[in-house]
Amino acid sequence: METLNFLLQGFDVATRPINLLVALFGAFVGTVVGLLPGLGPINGVAILLPLAFALGLPPETALILLAAVYLGCEYGGRISAILLNVPGDAAAIMTTLDGYPMARQGKAGIALSLSAMSSFIGSTIATIGVVLFAPILANWAVAFGPAEYFVLMVFAIACLGGMVGDKPVKTLLAALIGLGLATVGVDATTGVYRFTFDNVGLSDGIQFVIVVIGLFSVSEVLLMLEHTASGQQAVKASGRMLFSAKEFAFTWWSTVRSSLAGFVIGVLPGAGATIASAITYMSEKRIAGESGRFGEGDLRGVAAPEAANNASACGSLIPMLTLGVPGSGTTAVMIGALTLYNITPGPLLFEQQPDVVWGLIASLFIGNVILLVMNIPLVGLFARMLSVPTWILVPAITIVSLVGVYAVHSTTFDLVLMIGLGVFGYLLRKMDFPLSALILGFVLGELMESNLRRALSISNGDLAILWHSPISMALWGLAALMLALPGLRWLRKRRALRAAHA
């Protein structure tokens, strides 16, 4: 009953005219950013973050805007995946496998409308999960001390290496680079300048907005200049534009299963929508067996990954709100948004800032309805946006990025640093380093250091405090398991190859 009262309080916040307006704007912008190949939710949130702060929006309004952009990007990624065979972001990769074949068969409208409905169901189920489980986890998380928080963040970084099976070493190295960037500036405890190279501009550390805009937006612009999408034609969304009741019933259980699995995967720190969509697609393919036509235009191959990646996006808000640990790269950026407003995410957030938390949760329900109503009738409009030429897109992203970074502190040093980080991010992406892991490392860096120091000050320097409690021991065990997963997968593949050659 108490949770229901808080949710009603959240709807009171979310239905204020300004919040409804920013939710509508964020949903539209998010869909557009999501459908443009390569941009994705991190770029969408990163571009609007400094602008929201510079406009002086209240924290709950800013967070509603960023959440609407996040959900909109997850919706939008499917449009280019189905019509162009180019996913708008990594989470929509699996949608291309059956979505594009459907479009080639003249069923683009069915694929687009069905994927929109699956996205809506996935997001709604996950949002209900957030309502039910976030307060419980927040109450449990109050038992966490500095040592437990430190080990939790070690577990979050270990999850990155364990879950991203194809490049775990590069993922962990990217997270360590992020941790290193977080140490730049004045040491809060001793007052010593660290890695500033006698530059006054670095004395306060590298600002979060500069890191995000530089690594993602600027590096994306450089990649766009290198690889243009000229000559690429989208399949026209012709024919029947709405799925039938029979088609919806055919995909129903796949959608529900994928929504629940996506939500659980999203709650895991660092897992994200990409992993959720891949796991659920492969699971549904196994369940279908020989009766399925996966890879040739199976409806379940479109519904399952779309339900999963949207459910994962909502689920990733749980560790962000309750533990202060990002569940994905995009929620890492949203944690940065909270810190800009001097709000510390964690279990006490539910008590200290209920308007922010419950306003955000209630806005997810509203945003989902807006996106469903917007996406089905406006598919033709969004499809035409796929033809936006690079010579318009690149300057637009560059101008918004420059204005956003300059608006925060009004210094040219921030712009130079942003460009430098953008070039660095471009090189990392060329070497196939996942930048989302770097952002998670950067966000967790300061929190890890402060909690480690607090724990050691409590124990007078005795490291045993880090594995003293049952919670810490369990988290160390889970972290070790996650780090061992890539090795176990490698051994299993090697045995399979030996068996094949025998």
Higher-pLDDT residue of 270, 455: 455
Q: Which of 40, 47, 92, 81 is nearest to 66 (CA)?
A: 47
In the predicted model, what is the mean pLDDT of residues 406-427?
A: 83
Kindly write down the DSSP assignment for every residue of 43-76, as one continuous string.
HHHHHHHHHHHHTT--HHHHHHHHHHHHHHHHHH
Strands 193-194 and 185-186, by their bridges, are: antiparallel
Q: How far is CA 389 from CA 209, 298, 364, in A?
A: 27, 32, 32
> Using an 8 Å Cβ cutoff, are 291 and 277 in contact?
no
Instruction: Tell me the pLDDT tens digit for each residue of 57-113.
Output: 888 898 899 889 988 888 887 887 787 776 666 677 778 888 888 887 878 888 888
H-only helix segments in 206-328: 208-212, 219-226, 245-267, 272-288, 299-315, 317-323
Burial class, 431, CB count within 10 angstroms (exposed 0-12 / middle 13-18 / buried 19+): exposed
- For the chain, the structural domain boundaries read 1-229+243-501
Confidence of residue 382 (pLDDT cuts 50, 70, 90): low
In the predicted model, what is the mean pLDDT of residues 398-420?
A: 79
Average pLDDT for the chain: 80
Is residue 147's pLDDT more than 50? yes
- For the chain, the first-to-last Cα distance in angstroms comes to 62
Instruction: Tell me the pLDDT tens digit for each residue of 279-290.
Output: 788 788 878 777
Q: How far does CA 29 lie from the centroid of its chain?
A: 16
Q: How far apart are CA 488 and CA 334, in angstroms?
A: 33
Is residue 186's pLDDT more than 50? yes
172: Cβ contacts below 8 Å, ≥ 6 apart: 157, 160, 161, 437
In the predicted model, what is the mean pLDDT of residues 250-255?
A: 88
Kindly write down the DSSP assignment for every residue of 297-365, as one continuous string.
T-HHHHHHHHHHHHHHHHHTHHHHHHHS--SSHHHHHHHHHHHHTT---STTHHHH-HHHHHHHHHHHH
In the predicted model, what is the mean pLDDT of residues 135-144?
A: 73
Confidence of residue 24 (pLDDT cuts 50, 70, 90): very high
What is the residue whose two structure tokens read 């088609």? Answer: 247
Q: How far apart are CA 73 and CA 32, in angstroms?
A: 7
Indicate the Cα dihedral angle 488, 493, 494, 495, nearest 10°.
90
Confidence of residue 21 (pLDDT cuts 50, 70, 90): very high
In the predicted model, what is the mean pLDDT of residues 159-171?
A: 66
Residue-level pLDDT at 121: 92
Q: How far apart are CA 36 and CA 387, in angstroms?
A: 9
Residue-level pLDDT at 266: 80
Q: Which of 442, 448, 446, 449 is nearest to 181 (CA)?
A: 442
Phi-psi region of 297 (alpha: psi -120 to 50; beta: other; left: phi over 0): left
Give percent of the chain with pLDDT exceeding 70: 88
132-136, 195-199, 422-426 — most confident range: 422-426
Q: How far apart are CA 277 and CA 295, in angstroms?
A: 15
Residue-level pLDDT at 25: 92
**What tokens appear for 151 in the block?**
């080990």
Instruction: Tell me the pLDDT tens digit for each residue of 327-376.
Output: 777 887 888 778 777 887 877 788 788 888 888 889 999 989 998 888 77
Is residue 189's pLDDT more than 50? yes
Phi/psi of residue 254, nearest 5 degrees? -65, -40
Give percent of the chain with pLDDT exceeding 90: 5
Residue-level pLDDT at 230: 46
Phi/psi of residue 194, nearest 5 degrees? -120, 125
306: Cβ contacts below 8 Å, ≥ 6 apart: 78, 92, 95, 115, 118, 119, 122, 277
Kindly write down the DSSP assignment for every residue of 451-490, as one continuous string.
HHHHHHHHTTT-GGGGG-SHHHHHHHHHHHHHHHHHHHHH
Confidence of residue 385 (pLDDT cuts 50, 70, 90): low
Q: Is 412 helix (H, G, I), strand (E, B) or coil?
A: helix
In the predicted model, what is the mean pLDDT of residues 21-32?
A: 90
Confidence of residue 293 (pLDDT cuts 50, 70, 90): confident
Is residue 386's pLDDT more than 80? no
